[in-house]
Structure 1
C-alpha cells in the first residue's frame, strides 16, 4: 500500500512538471538565463582587453622599425579588424542583453543593413589576413632570394585592398536583402524588424549563405593555414637537419634567419590552433541550427540559445587574444612593445637588444 502511494505521488509530480514545462517559453528555462548572464558578464572584459591589446599591437607594428616587411602590415590590419569585430558585434550583444536595446533592430533600416554587412566583412577579413601572412611566410621561407620581388610593400597594400573589395562585394547582399517586413499573423499583422524581406532571400540566408560563409570565413583560411604552416615547419626542420652538427662560437646569419623563421612559425601555429578552437563552433552551429529547431520544444530552444551564445563568445575571444599570441611568441614584437612602454614611461627611448633594421630578421 505504501509503495503504491509513493508511485502515485511520483507520477502525479511528473505529470505536473510536464504540464508546467509545456506552458513555459524558452526564456523561463535556466539555460536561457545562463546564456543571458554570459552575455552580460563576459563581453566587457573581452572588449576592454581586446581593444586595448589590439590598439597597442597596431601602434607597435606600424613603427618604422617594423615597417620593412609585409607581415607587420597584415598583422596590423588583422588587429584593426579584430577591434571592429569587438566594437560592432560583441558590443551590440552586450548592450542588447544588459540594457534591452538592440542597436541593429531599434534604429534605422539603413543602420540595420550596414550592421549586418560590417560584422560579416570584418570577421571574414580577419581570417583572410591570416591567409596573407601565411602566404608571405611561405614565399619568404622557400624563395628567400626572390622575396624582394614577390613580397614588396606595394603588393601587400594591393593584397589588403583586393581582399577588402572581394569581401565587401561578397557581403553586399545584406545592404539590399534586409529590412522591415509586415507579416500576416492570424487576423492581424506583425511588424518584423531587420529581417530578410523575401522568402527566397530568407531561404538563401538559412540554407545557402551559411555554407558560403563557412567556406570563406573558415574552410579556405583553415586549409591555407594548415598547408602553409606545415610547409614552413617542414622547410625549417629540413634546414636544421642540414645544419645539424655545425657548431660555431658565433651565431652565423643563416642560423639567425632560421631562428627568426622558427619564432614566426610558432606564432602562426599558435594562431592556427586558436583559430580552430575558437571559430569552429560558430561556423558549425548556423549550418545545423535550422534542422535542430524543427519541431523542437521550448526547453531545447533554450539549450540551443546557450550553445549559440558560447559559440559566439568563443569567436569573439579569438578576436580579443590574437595580439597576445604575437606578444608571447614574437621576441621582436615584445621588444618593440617594451620600447614603446619605456618611451612613454621615461620620456626617452630605451636601448633594446637586437637589430630592428635588418631586412632578414622576420621575428615578430
Structure 2
C-alpha cells in the first residue's frame, strides 16, 4: 500500500490499527472458544444429538480456518510477510487449498444443519428413523471429502515460479482470473446461504404450525414438545437460528462487497485507501463468523450451558481433590499407610457422589 506509506489519509490509520488489533483478538478468542466447544460437545449428554456431530466438525473446521487464513492474512498486513512467497515449497498450494477446504466446510455444515433441523421439525418419523447420529457422522464425512476435493486443483494450477514467487500456472490464467471466483461465489456463498436462510424460515414455520396444532388438540400449557418429550429440540433449533443469523450478518456484506469490488473507485490514492479500508472491514467481519460460536452456544443453548457448568464443576472438584492430596504428598519424612490419603476419603466420595 504505497499510497499509505506516509499515512496521508485517515483511512490508512484505521486500516493499520484494525489489522493490528482485531485479527489477533479473533485468533485468541476463536482458538480458546473452539477448543472449549470440542471439549463440551464430546460429553456423553451432547453426543446423543445429531447437531452435536455437526457442531464438533464445525469447531475443527473453524480452528483450521483461523490458523490457515486469519493468521497468514494478519502477518501479510502487519509484518508484510507473505508465507506463500516466503516459503513457496510449503505454502504455495497448501494455504489457498486449506483456506477453501476449511471455509467451505464450515459454511456447508451450517447449510446441512439448517436443512436437517427443518426436516426434523417437520416429520417425527423422519427424525427418529433417518436423522440419526450415525447418519450425521456419515453426512459430515461425505461433506468433508467433497470440500477436500473441491479446491484440489491448487496443487496443479499454482506453482513456484522462482525462489520467492508463488503464482498460478499460465495455462490456468483464465480459470483463476475469471471462472474460479464465480465458482467460489456461487458454491461457497450463494447456494449455502440460500439453504441456511430457507432452512431457518422452514424451522420457524414448522414450530409455529406445531404449536397451533397442539393448542387445537390440547389447549392446556404444554410441558413437552412434539418429539416425544425431547426438550432439547427447541433449544437446539434456537441455537442454530442464532448461529445462522450471525453467519448471514457477517457473510452477506462481504459477499456483496466482493461482487462490487471491481466497480469501486480506485482512480486516486485516497480512493484506493478508502477501498482498502472497506476491504479490511468486511474481511474481518467475515472472520467473526469463525470466532464467537462458543459464546453463541452458551447464550442460546440451555443444554450446552448445563454441560459447561457440569464441566466446570467437575474440573473444580478434581482440582480440589488434587490440592488436598498435594500437601500430603510433599510432606515427606515418616509417612505411613494409615496417615497418607491418595484421594478423596470415603466420606468425601459419598459427599461428591451425592452432589453429582
- Aligned-partner SS, 1:100: coil
The count of corresponding residues between Structure 1 and Structure 2 is 319
Q: Which residue of 2 aligns with 1:343?
A: 314
Q: Give how far 1:206 is off.
A: 3.2
Quickly say closer, same or farther: Cα 1:73–1:320, change in 2 above 3 A: same
Q: Which residue of 2 aligns with 1:361?
A: none
TM-score (norm 1): 0.79
Alignment pair present for 1:98 and 2:78: yes
Q: Which residue of 2 aligns with 1:266?
A: 238
Alpha-carbon distance in structure 2 between the residues aligned to 1:149 and 1:158: 15
Checking the alignment, whether the CA contact within 8 Å between 1:27 and 1:33 is kept in structure 2 is no
Checking the alignment, whether the CA contact within 8 Å between 2:65 and 2:99 is kept in structure 1 is yes
Q: Give how far 1:81 is off.
A: 0.9
Alignment pair present for 1:38 and 2:10: no
With 249-258 and 300-309 compared, the bigger mean Cα shift is at: 249-258
Q: Which residue of 2 aligns with 1:334?
A: 305
Deviations 1:289-339 (A, max 9, x none): 34447x733322222211111111011111101222211111001100111
Quickly say closer, same or farther: Cα 1:172–1:276, change in 2 above 3 A: same
Deviations 1:34-81 (A, max 9, x none): 212211111121111111111111111111211122210101111111
Indicate which of 45, 61, 64 corresponds to 1:84: 64
Alpha-carbon distance in structure 2 between the residues aligned to 1:162 and 1:299: 47
Deviations 1:60-107 (A, max 9, x none): 111121112221010111111111111111111222333332223211
Quickly say closer, same or farther: Cα 1:349–1:92, change in 2 above 3 A: farther
Which runs of no fewer than 5 residues in structure 2 stay unpaired? 319-351
- Aligned-partner SS, 1:104: helix
Q: Give how far 1:248 is off.
A: 5.0
TM-score (norm 2): 0.81
Q: Give how far 1:139 is off.
A: 2.4
Q: Which residue of 2 aligns with 1:25?
A: 3
Q: Which residue of 2 aligns with 1:279?
A: 251
Checking the alignment, whether the CA contact within 8 Å between 1:327 and 1:334 is kept in structure 2 is yes
Checking the alignment, whether the CA contact within 8 Å between 1:343 and 1:350 is kept in structure 2 is no
Q: Which residue of 2 aligns with 1:193?
A: 165
Q: Which residue of 2 aligns with 1:216?
A: 187
Q: Give how far 1:342 is off.
A: 1.0
Alignment pair present for 1:132 and 2:103: no
Alignment pair present for 1:142 and 2:142: no
- Aligned-partner SS, 2:83: coil
Alpha-carbon distance in structure 1 between the residues aligned to 2:304 and 2:354: 15
Q: Give how far 1:350 is off.
A: 9.1
Checking the alignment, whether the CA contact within 8 Å between 1:88 and 1:119 is kept in structure 2 is yes
With 168-177 and 284-293 compared, the bigger mean Cα shift is at: 284-293
Q: Which residue of 1 aligns with 2:27?
A: 47
- The alignment's C-alpha RMSD in Å is 2.6
Quickly say closer, same or farther: Cα 1:240–1:148, change in 2 above 3 A: closer
Alpha-carbon distance in structure 2 between the residues aligned to 1:289 and 1:203: 19
